[in-house]
Amino acid sequence: MTVGRYSASDIQVIEFDESVRTRPAMYFGAGRGSPDLATRVLEGVLAHVLHPAARVAAVHTLQVKAEIIGDLAFMVSDDRADALDDLGVRLGYYGSMLGPARWVSAAAAALSSRTVAEVWRDGVGLRQELAGLRPVSEPRNFVPEAGAGTRVSFDLDNAYFRQGIAANLASLDLHGPHCSDVAGPGQVTLVDLRDRGNPTTSLYR
């Protein structure tokens, strides 16, 4: 039996967004052909803001608001502005306002045709539009609401997804098998606006 030999020429470097689009199941637990993929993307983003990176906040402490605007469009906001510090804005993947601390949102952006990231604190607001995860422009100022927060709006790529977000979201699991922390003050309020005459609200803690 011949033992294979490998060198640097055998290593293929794949960009983050290309990796997500090639193997979405590694990030969201559903493959490209799965009818559940869009729902799993929404679930993954919401679960991560409820269990953020340690430098952003403790688990189960963020106040999260989300709206489903269409079968492949949703928005998620929380009350932390981690991309802003005293020196200005910290840029992440490809010069976007989505960095490793929000890698699940970045992965969702990689599966989107358009993403808009907004962050605000102390009267300073910055907005950036992305094509997928790649910036279309530099962050630009806007007049923010009071307090601090981050909001990301996703238009998932309709050429990529086989089916939209599920109509029944009662089974969303925002904690997963590895969450053993007790409930905290944080929660996710999810409003489904697809039926404009009868929007539905779900609360997850």
Query: pLDDT tens digits for 112-151?
Result: 999 999 999 999 999 999 999 999 999 999 999 999 999 9
CA distances (Å), origin 34, targets 27, 29, 154, 164, 183: 14, 10, 19, 11, 32
CA distances (Å), origin 64, targets 1, 93, 152, 204: 56, 23, 12, 10
> Nearest 10 degrees: CA dihedral of 82, 188, 41, 49?
20
What pTM does this model have?
A: 0.92
Express each pLDDT in 67-110 by its tens digit.
999 999 999 999 999 999 877 899 999 999 999 999 999 999 99
